[in-house]
Amino acid sequence: MVHIKRLQEGGTDIIAVIGEIDASSSIELDLAIAKSVGEGFKKILVDCHALEYISSAGLGVFMSYIEEFRDKNIKMVLFGLKDKVTNTFEILGLADLLNIRENKTEALKLANELSV
Protein backbone atom coordinates (compact mmCIF):
# COMPACT_ATOMS: atom_id res chain seq x y z
CA MET A 1 0.00 0.00 0.00
CA VAL A 2 1.22 3.39 -0.85
CA HIS A 3 -0.04 6.87 -0.29
CA ILE A 4 1.17 9.69 -2.47
CA LYS A 5 0.87 13.39 -1.73
CA ARG A 6 1.82 16.21 -4.00
CA LEU A 7 2.75 19.66 -2.85
CA GLN A 8 3.85 22.61 -4.94
CA GLU A 9 6.49 25.05 -3.72
CA GLY A 10 7.34 27.77 -6.18
CA GLY A 11 8.06 26.08 -9.45
CA THR A 12 8.95 22.83 -7.74
CA ASP A 13 6.66 19.84 -7.40
CA ILE A 14 7.27 17.77 -4.30
CA ILE A 15 5.95 14.24 -4.41
CA ALA A 16 5.82 12.58 -1.00
CA VAL A 17 5.73 8.79 -1.11
CA ILE A 18 4.37 7.14 2.02
CA GLY A 19 4.35 3.39 2.55
CA GLU A 20 5.53 0.56 0.34
CA ILE A 21 5.82 0.44 -3.40
CA ASP A 22 5.41 -2.96 -4.99
CA ALA A 23 4.32 -4.12 -8.42
CA SER A 24 0.69 -3.04 -7.96
CA SER A 25 1.20 0.22 -6.11
CA SER A 26 3.95 1.34 -8.49
CA ILE A 27 1.15 2.40 -10.86
CA GLU A 28 0.19 5.15 -8.43
CA LEU A 29 3.73 6.45 -8.34
CA ASP A 30 3.83 6.38 -12.12
CA LEU A 31 0.54 8.31 -12.28
CA ALA A 32 1.80 10.95 -9.84
CA ILE A 33 4.99 11.54 -11.79
CA ALA A 34 3.14 11.54 -15.11
CA LYS A 35 0.74 14.16 -13.73
CA SER A 36 3.58 16.32 -12.55
CA VAL A 37 5.26 16.10 -15.94
CA GLY A 38 1.96 16.79 -17.65
CA GLU A 39 1.45 19.92 -15.58
CA GLY A 40 4.78 21.20 -16.87
CA PHE A 41 6.96 21.12 -13.78
CA LYS A 42 10.66 21.32 -14.56
CA LYS A 43 11.84 20.52 -11.04
CA ILE A 44 10.47 17.47 -9.29
CA LEU A 45 11.52 16.42 -5.80
CA VAL A 46 10.59 13.02 -4.45
CA ASP A 47 10.27 12.86 -0.68
CA CYS A 48 11.16 9.33 0.41
CA HIS A 49 11.17 9.87 4.19
CA ALA A 50 8.21 7.62 4.67
CA LEU A 51 9.06 5.15 1.94
CA GLU A 52 9.49 1.85 3.73
CA TYR A 53 10.13 -0.47 0.84
CA ILE A 54 10.46 -0.31 -2.91
CA SER A 55 10.36 -3.30 -5.22
CA SER A 56 12.06 -3.63 -8.57
CA ALA A 57 8.83 -2.58 -10.26
CA GLY A 58 8.86 0.65 -8.24
CA LEU A 59 12.42 1.32 -9.28
CA GLY A 60 11.35 0.67 -12.82
CA VAL A 61 9.02 3.65 -12.56
CA PHE A 62 11.87 6.05 -11.74
CA MET A 63 13.99 4.44 -14.38
CA SER A 64 11.40 4.70 -17.08
CA TYR A 65 11.40 8.50 -16.77
CA ILE A 66 15.15 9.02 -17.01
CA GLU A 67 15.20 9.50 -20.76
CA GLU A 68 12.01 11.55 -20.87
CA PHE A 69 13.41 13.87 -18.22
CA ARG A 70 16.61 14.29 -20.16
CA ASP A 71 14.71 15.13 -23.35
CA LYS A 72 12.36 17.58 -21.64
CA ASN A 73 15.08 19.00 -19.40
CA ILE A 74 13.24 18.07 -16.23
CA LYS A 75 15.30 17.62 -13.08
CA MET A 76 14.24 15.02 -10.56
CA VAL A 77 15.91 14.68 -7.16
CA LEU A 78 15.11 12.07 -4.54
CA PHE A 79 15.73 12.80 -0.89
CA GLY A 80 15.37 11.33 2.57
CA LEU A 81 15.88 7.73 1.50
CA LYS A 82 16.04 5.10 4.22
CA ASP A 83 19.16 2.89 4.25
CA LYS A 84 17.24 -0.11 3.08
CA VAL A 85 15.78 1.78 0.16
CA THR A 86 19.17 3.26 -0.71
CA ASN A 87 20.56 -0.27 -0.68
CA THR A 88 17.97 -1.38 -3.19
CA PHE A 89 18.84 1.55 -5.42
CA GLU A 90 22.54 0.77 -5.14
CA ILE A 91 22.26 -2.92 -5.87
CA LEU A 92 20.41 -2.25 -9.07
CA GLY A 93 22.85 0.44 -10.04
CA LEU A 94 20.20 3.13 -10.02
CA ALA A 95 22.06 5.25 -7.48
CA ASP A 96 24.40 6.36 -10.23
CA LEU A 97 21.59 7.22 -12.59
CA LEU A 98 19.37 9.17 -10.25
CA ASN A 99 20.03 12.29 -8.23
CA ILE A 100 19.79 11.41 -4.56
CA ARG A 101 20.29 13.80 -1.66
CA GLU A 102 20.09 13.63 2.12
CA ASN A 103 17.36 16.19 2.74
CA LYS A 104 14.99 18.58 1.12
CA THR A 105 17.23 21.66 1.28
CA GLU A 106 20.07 19.88 -0.46
CA ALA A 107 17.72 18.32 -2.94
CA LEU A 108 16.23 21.69 -3.81
CA LYS A 109 19.69 23.17 -4.12
CA LEU A 110 20.75 20.45 -6.51
CA ALA A 111 17.59 20.81 -8.56
CA ASN A 112 18.20 24.54 -8.87
CA GLU A 113 21.84 24.04 -9.81
CA LEU A 114 21.00 21.47 -12.44
CA SER A 115 18.25 23.62 -13.93
CA VAL A 116 20.57 26.50 -14.66
Partner 1 sequence: MIKNKALTRLAFFGSVIAWVVLLFSDITILLSNLQGLQPDVPVWLPRVMLAAYIICLYYYYKFRIELDDSLNFTDLLWKVFATGLITTVVSLVFRLLVFLLGNTSLATNVVFSDFICQINLALLINFLIAALTSWKRLILYQKSKWLIRTWMVFDVMLLAMLLYDAAGIRFSETVTTTMNLVIGVLVLALSANMRWVAYLNFKQKWTSLLLLLLTFFYQAYFFYTVERSTEIIARATESLSRDSSAFLDYRTQLFILVLAAFIIIYGIFSFLVILFNLPTSSVFEQKLEEVVNFQRISQSIQTEQDEESVYNILLESSVSSVFADAAWLEITGANNERKMFTYRMTETESKNIREHLEKNNIKGVLDSGSEKTKNLSKHLASMKGSRFRSLLAFPIVVKEENIGTLALLKELPEGFNKEMTRIISTFANQAGISIENFRLMEEAFQNARYKEELKIAKTVQQSLLPTRLEQDKDFEIVAFSASADEVGGDYYDTLRISDHLVALIIADVSGKGTTAAFHMSQMKGIFHSLAQQHLEPKEFMARANQALVFCLERGSFISASYFVIDTNEKKISYCRAGHCPVLYLRAGTKESFYLKDKGAALGMIRSRDYCNFVETNEIKYGPGDTMLLYTDGITEAKNAKGEEFGNESLSQALNEVAGASAQEIEEHIIRRLYEFSGTKNINDDYTSMTIRFKG
Report the interface residues with partner 1, using CB under 8 A.
23, 30, 56-57, 59-61, 63-64, 66-67, 90-94, 96-97
Min separation Cβ 79 and partner 1, Å:
21
Strand (E) or helix (H) holding 52: strand 51-54
* Cα–Cα distance, 46 to 48 (Å, whole number): 6
* Cα–Cα distance, 78 to 104 (Å, whole number): 9
Helices of type H across 39-101: 56-72, 83-91
The residue among 56 and 103 lying less far from partner 1, judged by its C-beta, is: 56
The residue among 74 and 108 lying less far from partner 1, judged by its C-beta, is: 74
Min separation Cβ 96 and partner 1, Å:
6
* Cα–Cα distance, 62 to 104 (Å, whole number): 18
Min separation Cβ 59 and partner 1, Å:
8
First to last CA, the chain: 37
The residue among 19 and 60 lying less far from partner 1, judged by its C-beta, is: 60
DSSP 96: T
Min separation Cβ 105 and partner 1, Å:
28
The residue among 7 and 34 lying less far from partner 1, judged by its C-beta, is: 34
